[in-house]
Amino acid sequence: MAAHIEGRIVSLRKVSVTAVDQPRSDTIFLGSLRVEGAPVETAASETGAERDARQKASIYDQDISSTYAGKEEIERYKGVNTADVLKGMVNVFSGDARNGGALDPSIRGIQGPGRVPVIIDGAEQALTVWRGYNGASNRSYVDPSLISGLQVLKGPVSTRGVNGSTGGAVVINTLDATDILKPGRNFGIELKLEGGNNATNPRVPTLLTGQDYRTIPGFVCTGIGASPTYAYCDPSLRVNLRTPDDNESFSAGDRAIRLAVAGRVGDFDLFGAYAFRERGNYFSGKTAPGYYSQEDLPLNSHTFVRKLGLNYEPGNEVPNTSSELESFLVKSTWRIADDQALQIGFRDSKSTFGDILPSRIFTVDGPAFGNVQWPLSKVHAKAYNAEYKWQPDSRWIDFRATAWATDTVSDTYSSGGFPNAAADPLFGGDPTIVNTAISNSDNDRYGFTASNQLNLSSKLSFLLEGNWQHERLRSGDEYSTAAANGWRQLPRAGRREEYRINFSGEWRPTSFIKLNAGLSYSGYWAEDDFLPEYLRQQGGSISRPVTTSWSTSYQTVGSSFADYETYWRSQLAGFGFSSEDIEAFLPAFVADYDPNIPFNITHNGPDWAPDVEGRFKRADNICLNGSLSSVANYSGTCVAIANNTLVPITETRRKSGHGWAPTVSATVYISSASRAYVRYAEAYRFPSMFESTIGFSASINPLRDLKPERIRSWEAAWIQDLRPLFRLGEGQHADLKLTWFHNTTHDVIERSTGLMFSNIDKQMIAGFEMQARFDNGSFFTDLSASHMTTNKVCDESVATQLDPSRGRIPDCVKYGFLSGFLLTQATPEETVNWTVGGRFFDRRLEVGGRFTWYAGYDNPQLAEFTNADDCIGGCFLNIPYTWGEIITLDAYAKFKINDRFSAELSGLNLNNSYYLDPLSRSMLPAPGRTVRLSLTGRF
C-alpha cells in the first residue's frame, strides 16, 4: 500500500501519515492520508477502535462508494433481528427483515441471489429460500454478536480481496484478538451481558404428526373446496395474540451473553468467543398506524398491507418473530516473520427462529390474517477460513491468499405445505397427518482467492487477482407424489462453480491526476442433480408448458344480409357443426335478419409468433400494432389467446457462460482538501443455483438457457475535507461526499407469468447520495441521505404478453412487472439517516441518538394494474407489500464506570412507530419501542 505525496511513493507503516513537509507551490498537498489496509507488522498493534476509525475514514478516502459500521455501532443498534445491523446505512436495506433470521441485502435497489454477496472473514454463504408465490429470499446467516466490523461496497467494485457482484458486496469481519486485548497487554477477557424488553415467549405448537385428522375438531375448514391437505383452519396453530398489557417494561424477554478470550504468546495470537442470545416474539409499535388501518378499503391482494393494523393490532404480539442464536468462534494468527502472517478461523452458529410462509399467515375463518404461530425453523452454519499474507520490502511482491469453506444445514418451514396436513380418504387418500411444510437443505461452498500487487515505479502499479468457488446443494427431502403433499415444492439439488480473473492497474501521471483501469474474465457452470432422479421416477421424461405463440381474433360490425350469413357460419362452425349441417341449418338462423340491428363478426387473425430469440414484439401482434384501424367496420375488439405447448425434458444439461468486463476511473485532486472522480465499471452476474435448478413456482425454461446479467455502472463523486474550514486538528474529522450513480443491467434474470426464469431486456436505477460527518472530540454528527431518480424495468416481450389484447402496459414500468421478483425489490426513493451525540466528563459519558426517515412507497402504476375491477396482468401473484412513511428515533447513553467496566442503555424506535419494513415479503409489522441494557467487563 502506498500513497503519492509530493510526487513520491512512500510506504505507510502506520494508520496515518501525520507530518509532511510544506508543499511546493506546484504540488497538490493531500493532507493526512488514511489507507484501507494495515501492513502485517502493524496489524497486531492496531486496536479494534483504530481499525474502525480507519474504515470509517475509507468512506471518504476511497474512490468508490461505501459505508461502514464498527463494533460499537453494531452492538448498539443491532436491534431485534439480524437485518437491523444494516439500518442507518444510506441506500442499504435487507429483504424480509422480520421473517427468517438472516440478511438479504439490497444495495441501491439491487437485490437477489448472487447480486449482493455477503462475505464473512473471506467466506461466502447464502441460501436461497423459496417464499411461495411471494418470490425468494437470499438468506445469509450471521450472528451479530460476533461482528467486529461491517462494510458495504456499492456497485460492481474491484476492491482487493472482495469478490463482489453487480450490486456490490457486504463485507463482514468477525471479532479477533485486537478487539479484546488492551494496548500493551498479552491476555484479555471480555464479558458482555445484555437484557432487553419487548419480547414474550412464543407459544410454539406441538405437531400432530401420526394422528388421524378426523379426530381433530375443526381441522378442516368448512365450505366449498375444504380439504385436510390445505389445513388453513388447523386449530393447533391458532393463538390469541398477547396485547400491550402483556408487554412488561422490565420483562428481560431478550437476553444475551458473550464471552471472549484472547492471548498473545510470542508470534501467536489466540482468540475464542462464545455468544448466546434468546428472544421471544416481539410486540409491534402503537403510534401512527394510519396507513395500515384503512377500514374503508376492500380486502384484496393490493390492499392487504393497508389493512395490516386491523389484523396485527398496534402494540400486540407479532407471532413467528422469536429467535435463539448460539455461536462459537475460534481464531489463531501466526506472524511467521515481520512480513508474513497466517490466520486460521472456525465459526459455528446454530439458529432457531420464527419462520412462516407468507401465504400461510392468512386464514379463511375469523381474522383475515395474523393469529397463526408455526413451529420454529433451524439453521446450523459452519465456516472455515485461512488467510496468508506475504508483504516483503519488495516492489514485486505484495501477496495475499485466502482459502475458505462453509457448510449450512437448514430445516426451514418453506416447502410450500402445512405443518399438519393429510389426504382425504374419500378420494383414496391417507388421513394420517404429516408435516408437509418443513424443507431440508445442505449447502456446501468452498473457495480460494489469491492476489499479488506489483509497484513497478513511483507512478505505476498493477494488481493480479483470481477467485474461484464451488457450491453444492443437497436435500434430505424425498420427492413424493402422495396426495397430502399439496403445494409442497420439489427439493432442489445441484452443483455450481464460478471463477474470475482480474487484472488492474493504477497510474499517476501527475501529482493531481490518478487513473485506474482493469479487465476481468469470469465464468460459471451449473448442473441440476435432482433432475436426473426426477426423470427416472417419471419414466424418463417430464413436460413443462411453454407459450410458443398466441392466437388472435378480431371483430367487425356487420349490417348486410351477406354479413349476417358470414356471422352465423362462423358461429355454427365454432359450435362444432359440420359443413353439411351448417348449410342445412343456416336458413333457420338467418331468418330473423334485421338490417337495423348491427352485429359483431369474429375473424381469425394471424398467429402472433416470437422472433428467433423467443421474444414477442408489438409490431407482430395485430391487436397492438394498429393494423386493424384500416379494416372496414372494425369494432375495436381484438383478443389474443396463448398457445401453450408441452415441451418434454428428457435429459439434464450442464449450463455455462463467461465474459469479459472492463473497469476504468479517473480522479482529479482539485486542491489540498477536495477531489473528484468518475468511474465506469461492468460486471457479470451468472445464474445462481436457484435459477439453474428445477422447482415449482420458479423453474427453468426448457427451450432457452439463461444468459448472464451484465451491468454497466457509472458513478461520479466529489469529496471535500472540511477540517480546514472548521479549524480541526489531528484526530478530528469533517468530511462531505456527494455521489451520483446510474446503473443499467441488461439481460436481468426474472420470473415470468409462466413461473419460469427468463432474461428481460434491462433494469435502470439512478440517483444521488450524500454522506457527511463532523467530530471535534466533544460533539459528533453523521448525516447521510439519498434520492432515487430512476428505478424502472424495460422489456417489450413481457409487457405485451401481460396484456396481449389491449397493450395497456408500457414497455418500461416502475420497479418491475407484475408476477416477477423485481417488483418486490423496490426500496424507498428518499431516505435520511442522521446520528448526533456528545462526549462528556473526559469521555466517560457518551450520549447520542439516531433519526431515520424513509419516504412511503410510491408506484401509481401498481394501483392501476391491480385494480380489482379491471386487473391487468395478474392481481394475485407476488403483489408487493407496500409501506407508508417511516420515522424512527433511537438513542443511547454509554458510561465508562472504570477501566474495566462500562454500561450502556439503548432504545430503538422510541417513538413506538407502527410500520412495515421496506422489502418485506411477509406481513409482519416491525418491532415497537425496545430498550436494552448492557454491561461489559474487560479484564
Q: What is the pLDDT of residues 148-196, one digit of tens each?
A: 999 999 999 888 999 999 999 999 999 999 999 998 899 999 999 999 9
Q: What is the pLDDT of residues 346-364, one digit of tens each?
A: 999 999 999 998 888 877 6
Which of 9-13, 264-268, 400-404 has the highest mean predicted lDDT (pLDDT)? 400-404
Identify which of 187, 327, 170, 199 has the alpha carbon closest to the alpha carbon of residue 261.
187
pLDDT at 698: 63
Phi, psi of 2 (to 5 degrees): -150, 160
Q: What is the pLDDT of residues 659-687, one digit of tens each?
A: 999 999 999 999 999 999 999 999 999 99
Phi, psi of 587 (to 5 degrees): -55, -35
pLDDT at 158: 80
At residue 367 the predicted structure's pLDDT band, cuts being 50, 70 and 90, is low
Q: Strand pairing of 323-337 and 268-279?
A: antiparallel
Contact predicate 439/411, CB 8 Å = yes
Question: Does pLDDT of 35 surpass 80?
Answer: no
pLDDT at 70: 95
- Give the three cell numbers for residue 219: 381441522
The domain locations on the chain are: 37-173, 179-313+321-462+472-541+650-938, 548-648
| Residue that has been written with the C-alpha cell 413443462 in this structure | 544
- Give the three cell numbers for residue 91: 441506500
Percentage of the chain modeled with pLDDT above 90: 71
Contact predicate 878/135, CB 8 Å = yes
pLDDT at 90: 97
pLDDT at 784: 98
Which of 98-102, 341-345, 919-923 has the highest mean predicted lDDT (pLDDT)? 341-345
Contact predicate 278/256, CB 8 Å = yes
Q: What is the pLDDT of residues 69-78, one digit of tens each?
A: 999 999 999 9
Q: What is the pLDDT of residues 562-580, one digit of tens each?
A: 888 888 888 888 888 888 8
Q: What contacts 668, CB < 8 A, 6 or more positions away?
A: 512, 513, 675, 676, 677
Mean pLDDT across 190-213: 95
At residue 728 the predicted structure's pLDDT band, cuts being 50, 70 and 90, is very high
Can you tell me the distance from the alpha carbon of 359 to that of 276, in angstroms, rounded to the nearest whole number? 31
Question: Does pLDDT of 123 surpass 90?
Answer: yes
Mean pLDDT across 902-919: 97
Secondary structure of 688-736 as H, E, C letters: CCHHHCCCCCCECCCCCCCCCEEEEEEEEEEEEECHHHHCCCCCCEEEE
Can you tell me the distance from the alpha carbon of 442 to that of 804, in angstroms, rounded to the nearest whole number? 42
Identify which of 126, 70, 51, 53 has the alpha carbon closest to the alpha carbon of residue 94.
126
At residue 135 the predicted structure's pLDDT band, cuts being 50, 70 and 90, is confident
Secondary structure of residue 375 in the 3-state scheme: coil
pLDDT at 29: 38
Q: What is the pLDDT of residues 436-463, one digit of tens each?
A: 999 999 999 999 999 999 999 989 999 9
Identify which of 223, 234, 238 has the alpha carbon closest to the alpha carbon of residue 420.
234
pLDDT at 786: 98
Indicate the fold that domain 37-173 takes in CATH. Ferric Hydroxamate Uptake Protein; Chain A, domain 1 (2.170.130)
Identify which of 603, 731, 699 has the alpha carbon closest to the alpha carbon of residue 34.
731
DSSP H or E stretch at residue 58 = helix 48-61
| Residue that has been written with the C-alpha cell 375469523 in this structure | 366
Mean pLDDT across 393-407: 96
CATH homologous superfamily for 179-313+321-462+472-541+650-938? TonB-dependent receptor, beta-barrel domain (2.40.170.20)
Can you tell me the distance from the alpha carbon of 809 to that of 862, in angstroms, rounded to the nearest whole number? 11
CA distances from 606 to 4, 252, 550 (A): 69, 70, 9
Secondary structure of residue 387 in the 3-state scheme: strand
Contact predicate 196/255, CB 8 Å = yes
Question: Does pLDDT of 31 surpass 80?
Answer: no
pLDDT at 361: 85
At residue 700 the predicted structure's pLDDT band, cuts being 50, 70 and 90, is confident
Identify which of 393, 506, 728, 663 has the alpha carbon closest to the alpha carbon of residue 3.
506
At residue 224 the predicted structure's pLDDT band, cuts being 50, 70 and 90, is low
At residue 521 the predicted structure's pLDDT band, cuts being 50, 70 and 90, is very high
pLDDT at 364: 65
DSSP single-letter state for residue 421? B
DSSP single-letter state for residue 913? B
Question: Does pLDDT of 267 surpass 80?
Answer: yes
At residue 9 the predicted structure's pLDDT band, cuts being 50, 70 and 90, is very low
Percentage of the chain modeled with pLDDT above 70: 93
Q: How much is the mean pLDDT over the chain?
A: 90
Identify which of 600, 516, 526, 535 has the alpha carbon closest to the alpha carbon of residue 563.
600
Can you tell me the distance from the alpha carbon of 494 to that of 444, in angstroms, rounded to the nearest whole number? 11
pLDDT at 4: 37
CA dihedral 721, 722, 724, 730 (to 10 degrees): -70
- Give the three cell numbers for residue 906: 439503548
- Give the three cell numbers for residue 668: 482529479
C-alpha 923 chain-centroid distance:
17
At residue 482 the predicted structure's pLDDT band, cuts being 50, 70 and 90, is low
Phi, psi of 345 (to 5 degrees): -150, 155
Can you tell me the distance from the alpha carbon of 150 to that of 727, in angstroms, rounded to the nearest whole number? 31
pLDDT at 427: 86
Mean pLDDT across 213-226: 86
pLDDT at 8: 33
Identify which of 160, 228, 285, 28 has the alpha carbon closest to the alpha carbon of residue 917.
285
Is the pLDDT higher at 898 or at 869? 898
